[in-house]
Chains A and B, each alone.
Chain A
């Protein structure tokens, strides 16, 4: 073992000798902030690229000018801008979709980070906890089962309600067995298989047209009606993500084990329940509007941790940013690569995210970057 056995310590000696350790740690933290800043810049760039590409191509400087001008006009309503086709395309067609991709990617990334953290399981994500399956069943109930109490919003609201009911069922089952990571994951997987079976049964009974609609919904899509939809998901993210960042330190410690977390003064069961509830809320909101988007919740936290380590004070915002960049990038490719055909974004997230993940995975060493 590469260490000395002398344990006679004096604080004077530490202050003199430990500068390098403390400096190393501060430099390590600076690199985390640098990473977050870098991903933010990538998102800004991707927003411009996403807004520029489409059936009506624009150049990047024009896009940023229109977006910047639009923001200023919305902050200072007394100012006005001349109406333009480009402005209408960007603000009314492309930006709602771009913002939805950013907010949804961020929400799924954070949900995955929370689930992997408090359940101490690198495979935990909205899929493995059955939440996505519940949303798919809710959508199928509307599309095939004809349950449409909420008019044109029935698919969305059914998906949301079912996702949240599934969370409550999983919580209730796990609570009766002690709320351990194992009981939560096993309950989630059991619920996932049950609900997938219900969805498959409904598809079996449905017409070809209904089945096609369900399958398309399950592949995920960022096509949104307008700013109202974005606002709902944005508000849920605005409430949930800051709270989860506030609890990030406790989530990290729970990742070291329930007994350790208890001995460090954390109410493990309460924090696990609260954070999972917010994770489920984020997932339910995104899945209800966009369908099932795979890989973002699973990969974003892994990509972030591989680069900046396991401190959730940085992993949670980092996963949000990586998730946002990943989903926005995937959606941009999905709607432009075979234009005018728009591919399901759920397929493209895997095509874009997995190679990058594998690259990081192969180069992973003993020390973080």
Chain B
């Protein structure tokens, strides 16, 4: 049961501000979707929260600042699912998931680590592929293995950076169904950077919409997904329908910039 406070997080590359005063909160058992156009800072925000990049501001886990934690303490609390599934050369699925035990164990593989991996593989329904090499998996299987590795880490807070962007629609739904169930069952907090607005509406409890590195708006998807906001943030004319009780954005056409706008 963890509460996460992202407070005034800012990050700059030399000569370019990427994030500016990003602030929002996440409660236990909640998934927050980060949406926004390309270059709005979604992936950078995920990297800042996991301290891959060193931002200004603070990221509090139940009041403890992640930016001041040592690396092992941070790894015990925060799990990351990267955009593309990768593992070490010639590693099996079991060995890949076992990497998630690194913050909890030393050099030797303990019986409890083996049990934890087996439990996670069973939980995510991939125990039959345990001894297959990671390289032989499909994109969806790889992404579920990445999720298994992060879950095996036993974090209270999960970060997912566009985990479904390379998957077909069936695999997208399967990965996100598993994520939602795990987050609810284990009362974890999760942030998912996601391009697909409609998947975000379907799976996230709340949405943070970024534009040019700043929070444009936060709230429920049905509050944020309006034709006006979509047009302003994405520069696209859109129709918003209701599908399965959730808002569903249908992009219609990009808004052509006037010559005077382009000159700016």
Contact = CB atoms under 8 A, between A and B. Distances in A.
B79 interface: yes
B221 to A, nearest CB: 23
Given A309-B91, A309-B92, A366-B132, A14 B52 contact: no
A7 B124 contact: yes
B144 A3 contact: yes
Interface in A1-60: 1-9, 11, 13-15, 17-18, 21-22, 24-26, 28-29
A328 to B, nearest CB: 25
A25 B130 contact: yes
Contact of A265 (B74, B88, B123, B130): B74
Interface stretch (B174-182, B200-208, B238-246, B251-259): B174-182
Given A122-B89, A264-B102, A14 B115 contact: yes
A21 B95 contact: no
Question: By DSSP majority rule, is chain B's interface helix, strand, loop, or mixed?
Answer: helix
A260 B86 contact: yes
B18 interface: no
A7 B102 contact: no
Contacts of B136: 366
A126 interface: no
Nearest to B130: A21
Contacts of A1: 138, 140-141, 144, 170-171, 174
B86 A256 contact: yes
B119 A18 contact: yes
Contacts of B88: 117, 252-253, 255-256, 310-312
B178 A5 contact: yes
Nearest to A251: B88
Most buried by A among B140, B149, B170: B149
Interface string B92-128: 1011100110110001010000110111011111111
A306 interface: yes
Nearest to A253: B99
B119 A14 contact: yes
Contacts of B138: 1
Interface string A280-311: 00000000000000000000000001100111
A29 B150 CA distance: 23
B80 interface: yes
B185 to A, nearest CB: 7
B72 A7 contact: no
Nearest to B51: A262
B180 to A, nearest CB: 9
A8 B125 CA distance: 10
Contacts of A368: 90, 92, 131, 133
Interface of B: 47, 50-52, 71-72, 74-76, 78-80, 82, 86-92, 94-96, 99-100, 102-103, 107, 109, 114-115, 117-119, 121-133, 136, 138, 140-141, 144, 149-150, 153, 159, 170-171, 174, 177-178, 181-182, 185
Top-5 shortest CB links A-B: A255-B88, A265-B75, A3-B125, A263-B80, A310-B90
Given A28-B92, A263-B159, A265-B102, 13 more contacts: A1-B170, A3-B174, A6-B125, A7-B178, A9-B122, A18-B127, A122-B89, A259-B47, A262-B71, A264-B100, A310-B90, A312-B88, A368-B131
29 contacts: A3-B125, A3-B126, A3-B174, A7-B178, A17-B122, A21-B94, A22-B118, A24-B94, A25-B94, A25-B117, A249-B107, A256-B99, A259-B52, A259-B82, A262-B71, A263-B78, A263-B79, A263-B150, A265-B76, A266-B71, A266-B102, A309-B133, A310-B90, A311-B95, A366-B132, A366-B133, A367-B92, A367-B131, A367-B133
